Chains A and B, each alone.
Chain A
Amino acid sequence: MTISTSTELICFLILSSVIVSGALGVVLIENIVYSAFLLGGVFMSVAGLYLLLNASFVAAAQVLVYVGAVNVLILFAIMLVNKQEELKPIKGLKIRRFFSGCVCAGLLALLFRVDITTNWATPGPKAIGEIATERIGEHLFTDYLLPFELASVLLLMAMIGAIVLARRDVISIELESKDSIPQNIIKNSTDNVLLDQSSD
């Protein structure tokens, strides 16, 4: 065992333990701010796994998009909706958690069996290593050109949809009434217009 392979093995063990424990923390820790920061740690560790797999471009994209954009967006959402509320107790919650845990453990056992017992076609062709970035660029502009353009359209649609969904509807009121926005409308915009009438 040379020093590079042992270093790789140690890195893989550390990264995988951080991923598993961090993911457990994301779903189990009560304080959701801690969960969001742990999620960032999980994303960074996944980027480290990509580096172990000789994929530097995707690792950089993972850090930029997930840690830089998605995680910050989730933190902003937590800050915006951060209200300490007492959740109503639901009867049978423990039983529900137990049974869903059983189902997930069964799914995990099934996936483990498939992972271990299948004869994957390894070793494949030799990995191209550092020129993977150039190869991704060639793919994106030749045989994956249509999905690439569709992804841009999807991002545009998501951006417009997010803006439309998240803004407050005060602009139309201003256009109609031609005067300053009455403050009580903004205040009343948090009224429960969608509140259902059924008894909870």
Chain B
Amino acid sequence: MFNSQDLIPLNAYLLIASILFCIGVWGLINSRNAVRVLMSIELMLNGVNINLMAFSSYIDGNIIRGQVFTVFVITVAAAEAAVGLAILLSLYRNRTTVDMESFNLLKW
């Protein structure tokens, strides 16, 4: 079993996670389709998960608390996706659109 700490530095994983998170933030702000907003949230959660896993493997290698946290984050992400898509379906049933700009019901 080769050790992953030899060649790839921890920074490489952190950079990938940062890029994924920032792409998710941009998509979250700029998407007009509500389904794409949910997809961007999933991207952000995956970036955070990569971060947790990298730290768990490189710094906390014998206790791996980060992997347990990742499992919990995956659980919460699944629940969030289910509830978010249910909200989206009921919104679509009432408004017959998925355009984020027309969802201004809670805006003053």
A: residues with CB less than 8 A from B are 1, 4-5, 8-9, 12, 16, 19-20, 23-24, 26-27, 32, 35-36, 39, 42-43, 46, 49-50, 52-55, 57-58, 61-62, 65-66, 69-70, 73-74, 76-78, 80-81, 83, 85, 87-88, 90, 96-97, 100-101, 104-105, 107-108, 111-112, 115-116, 120-130, 132, 135-136, 139-140, 144, 147, 151, 154-155, 157-159, 161-163, 165-166, 168, 189-190, 192-196, 198, 200
Contact = CB atoms under 8 A, between A and B. Distances in A.
A43 B46 contact: yes
B72 A126 contact: no
A184 B57 CA distance: 59
Interface in B42-99: 42-43, 46, 49-50, 53-54, 56-65, 67-68, 70-72, 74-83, 85-90, 92-99
Contact of A46 (B7, B35, B46): B46
A98 B71 CA distance: 36
Contacts of A136: 64, 67-68, 71
Given A100-B29, A129-B1, A108 B101 contact: no
A39 to B, nearest CB: 5
Given A5-B6, A165-B86, A78 B53 contact: no
A23 B42 contact: no
B63 to A, nearest CB: 8
B101 to A, nearest CB: 6
B22 A27 contact: no
Nearest to B79: A158
Contacts of A139: 64-65, 68
Of A97, A100, A120, A127, most B-chain CB atoms within 10 Å? A127
A80 B18 contact: no
Contacts of B13: 49, 53
Interface of B: 1-16, 18-27, 29-33, 35-36, 38-40, 42-43, 46, 49-50, 53-54, 56-65, 67-68, 70-72, 74-83, 85-90, 92-99, 101-102, 104-105
Contacts of A52: 4, 8
A105 B25 CA distance: 10
Contacts of A83: 96-98
A101 B26 CA distance: 7
Contacts of A81: 35, 88-89, 92, 98
Contact of A42 (B46, B78, B80): B46
A115 B11 contact: yes
A66 to B, nearest CB: 7
B1 A65 contact: no
9 contacts: A12-B8, A20-B20, A27-B43, A111-B22, A112-B18, A124-B60, A139-B64, A190-B94, A200-B102
